């Protein structure tokens, strides 16, 4: 019997990430919305995924594409209404798709009523205690309270007219909550219950390790290089998630949590995945791994050993809304993920990158645990690197002094059908162009163009996801490596499934097998071509 019948659904689910602004536009204003998403639910069902994760859909001024939340318990009119969100949850469940929504607990919008009240109340007020307001340094308080820098560039402090400064680890429009104030965790617990009451099946937690700060606010310059930064991974964060887990476990659907945890220390990472905290955390070392067999094997081994310490399932992810799409990344000379990619574009061989991305899909979906598919990944979309400067919207662009082009290139609206823009993203005779421009080359990458073409990326994903559901050895469970030459990964799942990935420059011999299940590209003289992968049944 398949392990998926013996464990909770989230241990081996394939979860599809929807970036709502760019998925499907139902009303013709150039922005994706709930109308478009609901219309495309059959596509997601037929693709073969188990759940849908939505990036923020909350009320927001959109200074950071919705990650600046002004109301955590309502839907931004750009996307639709709360009633429509409730219908979406119901309809997704009717299609046997679970729903995971983003929660952004580190920071809110500067338009959030609580922050506006804090600005109005002035220094020393209870309202300001919900955030990190501090007097400045220098003779007249003209210097920031600390030397901390924003992740988006520039200082992490902004001064208000009365002279105090407030902390924002991201954009100035995103003030950080003060989780030391009991009113903050109480309010977020109310938010969790609000969405669990409406049937959501879980939450993805944005920058999950940032919530608690070192109250002493030490300067980074005073700390050694190995000291944990004072804005992340503080001890108090674990008690927050223990309380959240109690709430989620009290609901019939037993809501799940996945944390965004950019932490390459296995011991610190696994502390978040203890049985009374988060269920899973994103595996960014795998996403960041270069196209190299030894590097992948090391990451896979470390991942599985790390998660085994706390009995948590591993997660596998190749792309998301914050990183350069892996089709482009794998076509470069330097194939590892780096946030500097958006500053110094390197030429990419998209044919090579696509071939490697096909192989990576089979590798990812054959590994034990759960997997994430970022929208458009199943279409083989590359990064869009020629968006005109004046159309860029990511706050990293201006905050970096116009040196970091940001993440817009992986957020371009999807192509669904047709030979001309907007490729079915918006309805015919739409009132507006898509919010980011689509390349002319995307006509051949649309869902309609790829449907029925067995050589296409979309049909590869459909076949792989179908096999993942029907093959008893896939999903959660053990794996073991089999002998393989340098540059080749070969492993077995269960009693009879094997996956071979050839990351070398020469064809690889197939091991003894009963029959082939799926190949990312045709065999060459009964050998696995370079940058290709094979699923097979073995004796």
Residues acting as catalytic residues: 206, 260
Q: Strand 515-519 to strand 479-481: parallel, antiparallel, or no bridges (unpaired)? A: unpaired
Distances (CA, A) of 287 to 291, 380, 455: 10, 16, 25
Among 405, 380, 259, residue whose Cα is nearest residue 318: 380
In this structure, how many other beta carbons lie within 10 angstroms of the beta carbon of residue 124? Answer: 10
CA geometry: angle at 370 spanning 407 and 291, to 5°? 55
**CA 525, CA 367: separation in Å to the nearest integer?**
27
Q: Where are the alpha helices (DSSP H) in 335-377?
A: 350-366
SS (HEC) of 223-286: CCCCCCCCCCCCCCHHHHHHHHHHHHHCCCCCCEEEECCCCCCHHHHHHCCCCCCCCEECCHHH
Q: 459 CB contacts (<8 Å, ≥6 apart)?
A: 450, 451, 452, 453
Under DSSP, is residue 73 helix (H, G, I), strand (E, B) or coil? strand
Structure tokens at 119: 């600005």
Q: Which among 278, 276, 235 has a CA at the least distance from the CA of 259?
A: 278
């Amino acid at each position: 019997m398949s392990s998926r019948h013996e464990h909770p659904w989230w241990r081996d689910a394939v979860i599809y990430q929807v970036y709502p602004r760019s998925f499907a536009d139902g009303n013709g204003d150039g922005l994706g919305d709930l109308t478009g998403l609901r219309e495309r639910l059959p596509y997601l069902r037929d693709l073969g995924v188990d759940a849908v994760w939505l990036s923020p859909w909350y009320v927001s001024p959109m200074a950071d594409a919705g990650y600046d939340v002004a109301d955590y318990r309502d839907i931004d009119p750009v996307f639709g209404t709360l009633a429509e969100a409730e219908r979406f949850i119901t309809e997704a469940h009717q299609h046997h798709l679970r729903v995971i929504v983003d929660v952004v607990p580190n920071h809110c919008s500067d338009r959030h009523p609580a922050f506006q009240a804090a600005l109005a109340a002035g220094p020393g007020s209870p309202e300001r205690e919900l955030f990190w307001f501090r007097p400045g340094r220098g003779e007249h308080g003209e210097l920031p309270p600390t030397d901390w820098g924003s992740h988006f560039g520039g200082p992490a402090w902004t001064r208000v007219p009365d002279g105090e400064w407030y902390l924002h680890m991201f954009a100035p429009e995103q003030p950080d909550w003060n989780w030391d104030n009991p009113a903050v965790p109480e309010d977020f617990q109310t938010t969790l219950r609000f969405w669990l009451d409406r049937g959501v099946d879980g939450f993805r937690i944005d920058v999950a390790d940032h919530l608690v700060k070192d109250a002493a606010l030490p300067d980074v310059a005073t700390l050694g290089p190995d000291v944990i930064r004072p804005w992340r991974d503080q001890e108090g964060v674990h008690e927050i998630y223990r309380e959240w887990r109690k709430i989620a476990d009290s609901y019939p659907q037993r809501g799940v949590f996945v944390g965004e945890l950019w932490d390459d220390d296995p011991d610190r990472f696994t502390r978040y995945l203890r049985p009374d905290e988060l269920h899973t955390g994103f595996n960014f070392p795998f996403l960041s791994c270069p196209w190299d067999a030894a590097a992948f094997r090391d990451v896979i081994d470390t991942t599985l050993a790390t998660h085994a310490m706390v009995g948590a399932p591993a997660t596998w992810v190749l792309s998301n809304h914050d990183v350069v799409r892996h089709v482009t990344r794998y076509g470069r000379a330097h194939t590892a993920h780096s946030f500097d990619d958006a500053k110094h574009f390197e030429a990419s061989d998209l044919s090579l990158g696509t071939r490697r991305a096909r192989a990576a899909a089979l590798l990812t979906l054959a590994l034990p645990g759960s997997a994430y598919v970022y929208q458009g990944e199943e279409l083989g979309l590359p990064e869009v690197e020629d968006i005109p400067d004046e159309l860029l919207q990511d706050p990293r662009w201006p905050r970096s002094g116009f040196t970091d082009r940001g993440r817009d290139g992986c957020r371009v609206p999807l192509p669904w059908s047709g030979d001309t823009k907007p490729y079915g993203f918006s309805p015919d005779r739409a009132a507006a162009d898509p919010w980011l421009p689509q390349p002319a080359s995307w006509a051949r990458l649309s869902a309609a163009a790829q449907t029925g073409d067995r050589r296409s990326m979309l049909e590869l994903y459909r076949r792989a996801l179908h096999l993942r559901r029907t093959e008893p050895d896939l999903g959660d469970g053990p794996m073991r490596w089999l002998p393989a030459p340098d540059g080749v990964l070969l492993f077995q799942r269960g009693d009879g499934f094997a996956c071979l990935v050839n990351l070398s420059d020469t064809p690889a011999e197939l091991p003894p097998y009963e029959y082939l299940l799926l190949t990312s590209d045709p065999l060459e003289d009964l050998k696995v071509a370079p940058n290709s992968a094979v699923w097979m049944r073995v004796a």
